[in-house]
Structure 1
């Protein structure tokens, strides 16, 4: 049975792949190679497999090349869109900074005007009280004088009734003349008092009108200042909360650091001279407290890295978090963000602080570390040139070095880190939180 199947298979192969001989001739000899049907079938199958593999491999390489090209184009488009967004955010930041500066100037001018008007209001209130006291004295004197006059008239009438004609004979005597003169002087004084009283009432009415006008002006100014403070303080509060910083604890830290130093942080209040505070005084004190809070926010913001270390044109090349290591190809934590620009691009401190390191540091290359308030530290790595020294105190916006490619890098860029309590956090938290304020 097996022999019959083998014979039939051989016959079928002979029909399609007849036996062939390949002759190899040399100078001295001639040899041949017999190609049996099975050998030809195996050679044909191997050649077909090789051709199929070549076609599939070529298709895969071609598809991968097309896909890589589309990915690069998409990456370039995303990069251009992101760059345009960054430029737009930078313009908005500059506009907000100008608006904040103009609001601060308007606030200072309005506060000066409030101080002047408060002084005038206190002076007017003092004059009004003095006039009211004078009016009370004049009215009391007038009542006493009129009572004395009526008593004198009653006495004269009583004397005339008791003495009859004798009082008429003695009317020309000195005592009656003295009484008449006293009555005349009393009448003149009464008329004078009445005239003074009417004039004092007119002056009091004018003062009341002036006080009412000043109160309306004060209310308008207070309302504008309250709106300005709300517009100024609320964005700063949101900025600190967006960065995950507890606002009350931060402000208390700044206040303790400046206690007893005087200046803008000294608590202010209008004197009430031992009297119950008026509504305007309480309102002004609330504004002053808000102004003090705004100043504390301003000082705290300068001590936290709410700024960008690169002010020239740049592009983000690597974000915070796990990524593929450009050197080894493995997965590795990237503890900062990378800003790419030209060699020598200026680098700036993002907050007030003290330089704790300025030199070479292994894979960081030329590195600058700055210690800030609230346990925050910033790092600026791979610099081509360092422009600060250890122990130097820097302010936000001070130039600390130049962008380079020192240390463990694949190109020119700045590696920027923010560490809180020694632990690396995403620097973009602070940069994005400040975009709507600065």
Structure 2
């Protein structure tokens, strides 16, 4: 059976591809090469395979270029949107900081005004009490004088009824009584005038007290509004910061405690917090306002600690030019891939993602040209496959400093950056920090 099939195939090839002879003539001899049908079929098949492979490979390359161009344009748009959002967040953060500073100044001025108004209110209250005491004394004196006047009038009427026969003898006594009555009347008039003046002064003091109390209520309402705005601003500013550190797998309270313990004194807290209230000013309202002001200042101090921590942790992007993600963190081809690969143009600048110290700058097996930076809190970042290095071991770098250029050195199949984040030597997903930072920076 196989022989018959082979014979049929051979006969088919002889009909379609008859045997050919290729003559090769030289000066001394003539030779020929026999091209059998099977040989011709093999040559035709090989040529077809080569042509087909060339067409398929060309189509793949063209489609990859088209896809890369679309992906690059998309990444450029995303990068532009990210930069715009970064600028907006920076402006909003600066505006919030300016509003907080202005509100703090207004708060200090309001506290001073409250102190002045309280002093004025106490003075007015003391004056009112003095006026009430004076009015009471005058009213008592006026009552005593009026009783004396009534007694004198009664005595005068008795003397007038004594008769005309005794008028000559008692004339001088009647004149004395009349003079006394006139003196008492003048004294009563003066006393009444003084009473009216004191009453007017008391009314003025009460009106002034009411005006001061009204101004105090307005001032308290304004203070409450200022406190509410400050508390809202602190809350709005703190939420993305808390979320950023929480998403990065860090406890914000422990992080701030570590910052405070290692704080060097440059750019730290906003200053001393409010001192305790004096004993003579520790009423319920003052205690409540003091507690709210202390909470706001604590929040501002916490925000400042967050700012210091954010500068020391790798929340920024190592690239500012257009790029595309070519390999994520995790298992790849059965092996652990301990970073992310970001592909871009050859020579694209690479930037430090946080403040730190360079611990390695040179070739490393598998990484090619590698830069390693040690950061605070046991963190370390690695930047592999670089084409050039712009830093040296022991150099201190800040977030955003250029440390090298993208390349294709080491175990690499194309131009890209291999970026790693390690915590106490253990590799972590860098996208966790990058995505967390996008909420703030």
Question: Judging changes above 3 Å, is the alpha-carbon distance between structure 1 residues 205 and 276 closer, same or farther for their aligned structure 2 residues?
Answer: closer
- CA drift at 1:430: 0.7
2:184 and 2:395 mapped to 1: Cα distance?
95
For residue 108 of structure 2, the aligned residue among 89, 102, 115 is 115
* Deviation for aligned residue 1:389: 3.8
Going from structure 1 to structure 2, the CA distance change for 1:363 and 1:171 (only over 3 Å counts) comes to farther
Identify the residue that residue 244 of structure 2 maps to in structure 1. Answer: 239
Whole-Å Cα distance in 1 between the matches of residues 364 and 154 of structure 2?
A: 123
Moved more, 269-278 or 136-145: 269-278
Q: Name the counterpart of 1:29.
A: none
1:129 to 113, 122, 125: 122
Helix, strand or coil at the partner of 2:222: helix
| Cα distance in 2, alignment partners of residues 252 and 168 from structure 1 | 98
Q: How does 1:92-107 map to 2 (within 5 A)?
A: 92-107=85-100
Deviation by residue 1:74-132 (Cα, 9 ceiling, x = unmatched): 95355654554344333323322222222222232232222222321221122112211
Aligned pair partner of 1:252 in 257, 274, 281? 257
Q: Distance in 1 between matches of 2:331 and 2:57?
A: 27
278, 283, 295: which one aligns with 1:276: 283
Shift of 1:153: 3.5
TM-score, normalised by the number of residues in structure 1 = 0.74
Q: Tell me by how many angstroms 1:426 deviates.
A: 0.9
- Alpha-carbon distance in structure 2 between the residues aligned to 1:134 and 1:263: 49
Structure 1 contact 270–285 (Cα < 8 Å) conserved: no
Say if 2:307 is the partner of 1:298. Answer: yes
Q: 1:147 aligns with which of 130, 140, 144?
A: 140
Q: Give the Cα separation in 1 of the matches to 2:60 and 2:405.
A: 34
5+ residue gaps in structure 1?
1-9, 18-43, 325-330
Establish whether residue 339 from structure 1 lines up as the match of residue 365 from structure 2: no
Q: Find the aligned partners of 2:436 and 2:61 in 1 and give their Cα distance.
A: 36
Judge which range, 68-77 or 339-348, deviates more.
68-77
Is 1:382 the counterpart of 2:408? The answer is no
- Can you list the C-alpha shifts for 1:356-409, whole angstroms capped at 9, x where unaligned? 333443333433322222221112233344333434333222223333444443
Asked if the contact 1:359–1:367 (Cα under 8 Å) also holds between the matched residues in 2, the reply is yes
SS in 2 for 1:333: strand
Q: Cα gap change, 1:310/1:260 in structure 2, threshold over 3 Å: closer, same or farther?
A: closer
- Residue in 2 that maps onto 1:364: 367
User: Structure 1 residues 374, 185: closer, same or farther in 2, change over 3 A?
Assistant: farther
Query: What's the CA shift string for 1:53-80, capped at 9, x where partnerless?
Result: 99x9899979986995798479535565
Map of 2:325 onto structure 1:
316
Give the direction of change, closer, same or farther, for the CA distance of 1:350–1:154 in structure 2 (3 Å limit): same
Name the counterpart of 1:35. none
- For 2:210, the equivalent position in structure 1 comes to 205
Query: For 1:214-225, what aligned pairs fall within 5 Å after superposition?
Result: 214-225=219-230
Aligned twin of 2:422: 419
- In the alignment, does 2:404 pair up with 1:401? yes
Q: Are the counterparts in 1 of residues 75 and 323 from structure 2 also a CA contact under 8 Å? A: no
Quickly say closer, same or farther: Cα 1:263–1:82, change in 2 above 3 A: closer
Mapped contact 2:72–2:323 kept (Cα < 8 A): no
Tell me if structure 1 keeps the 8 A contact 2:367–2:409.
Answer: yes
Cα distance change of structure 1 residues 362 and 433 upon mapping to structure 2, 3 Å threshold: same
TM-score by length of 2: 0.73
For 1:82 and 1:303, how far apart are their aligned partners in 2?
27
Residues 294, 306 of structure 1: alpha-carbon distance in 2 compared, 3 angstrom cutoff: same
Q: 1:198-253 CA distances to partner (integer Å, 9 max, x unpaired)?
A: 22223223323333333333333333333322221111111112222112211222
CA-based RMSD of the aligned residues comes to 4.2
Tell me the CA shift for residue 177 of structure 1: 8.8
Distance 2:151 2:377 in 1: 95
